[in-house]
Amino acid sequence: MFDDHHSPLPERLSDQGLLPGRGDFPAEGRLAVRDPATGGLVAQVAISDANGARAAVNAAQTAFPAWAAMLPQHRADILHRWHALIVGAKEDLARIMVAEQGKPISEARGEIDYAASFVQFYAEEALRPNIEGVTSHLPDAEMELWREPVGVAALVTPWNFPCAMITRKAAAALGAGCTVVIHPSAETPLSALALAVLAQRAGFPSGVVNTVIGDAATIVGEWTADARVRALSFTGSTEVGRLLYRQSADTVKRLVMELGGHAPFIVFPSADLDRAVAEAVKAKFATSGQDCLGANRFYIHRDVYDDFCTRFTAAVERLTLAPGMQDADLGPLVHDRQVAKQVAHVQDAVAHGARILTGGEVAADLGPLFFKPTVLADVTDEAAIMREETFGPVAALSPFDTEEEVVARANASEYGLIAYVHSQDPRRIYRVSRALQYGMVAVNRTKVTGAPIPFGGMKQSGLGREGARQGLEAFTEIKYVCRDWA
Q: Which helix (H) or strand (E) holds 283?
A: helix 273-285
Helix spans in 203-272 (H): 216-225, 238-248
Q: Is 71 exposed, middle or buried (0-12, 13-18, 19+ CB in 10 A)?
A: exposed
Question: With respect to ligand NAD, which residue has the nearer C-beta, 261 or 324?
Answer: 261
Among 33, 156, 170, 333, binds ligand NAD (CB under 6 A): 156
Shortest Å distance, C-beta 463 to ligand NAD: 11
State the nearest-atom distance from the C-beta of 412 to ligand NAD, in Å: 19
- Point out which span in 255-263, 356-364, 401-409, 428-436 binds ligand NAD (CB under 6 A): 255-263
Q: Which residues contact 353 (CB under 8 A, 6 or more apart)?
A: 378, 380
CA atoms of 236 and 98, how far apart (whole Å): 20
What CA–CA distances, in Å, run from 255 to 117, 166, 273, 274, 464? 23, 16, 41, 41, 7
CB 393 within 8 A of CB 342: yes
Give the Cα separation of 31 and 225 in Å (integer).
25
**Closest by CA position to 280, among listed 299, 262, 257:** 299
Indicate which single residue of 7, 61, 160, 390 sits in contact with ligand NAD (rule: CB under 6 A). 160
- Out of 100, 258, 389, 466, pick the active-site residue: 258
Specify whether 292 is catalytic: yes
183 binds ligand NAD (CB under 6 A): yes
Among 71, 217, 249, 351, interactor with ligand NAD by CB under 6 A: 217
> Which of 258, 279, 329, 388 is the binder for ligand NAD (CB under 6 A)?
258
- Smallest CA-to-CA distance from 383 within 356, 364, 404 is with 356
Q: Does 157 participate in binding ligand NAD (rule CB under 6 A)?
A: yes
Tell me which residue has its CB nearest to ligand NAD. 236
Interface size with ligand NAD, residues (CB under 6 A): 28
Choose, from 125, 292, 388, 466, the residue flagged as catalytic: 292
Closest CA to 231 of 165, 161, 180, 177: 180
Q: How far is the CB of 17 from ligand NAD (least distance, A)?
A: 24
In whole angstroms, the minimum distance from the beta carbon of 261 to ligand NAD comes to 5
Size of the chain, expressed as the number of residues it contains = 486
369 lies in the binding site for ligand NAD (CB under 6 A): no
Binding mask 404-443 for ligand NAD (x = CB under 6 A): -------------x--------------------------
| In the complex, least distance from residue 266 CB atom to ligand NAD, rounded to whole angstroms | 20
Closer of 35 and 388 to ligand NAD (Cβ): 388
Is residue 258 annotated as a catalytic residue, yes or no? yes
Beta carbons of 300 and 400 less than 8 angstroms apart? yes
Nearest Cα to Cα of residue 481 among 176, 134, 228: 134
Residues in Cβ contact with 82 at an 8 Å cutoff, skipping those fewer than 6 apart: 119, 171, 198, 199, 202, 204
Least Å distance between CB 296 and ligand NAD? Answer: 10
Q: Round the CA-based radius of gyration of the chain to a whole number and report it.
A: 23
Stretch near ligand NAD under the rule CB under 6 A, chosen from 64-72, 178-186, 265-273, 310-318: 178-186
Residues catalogued as catalytic:
258, 292
- Which residues are near ligand NAD by CB under 6 A? 156-161, 165, 183-186, 216-217, 220, 235-237, 240, 243, 258-261, 292, 389, 391, 417, 462
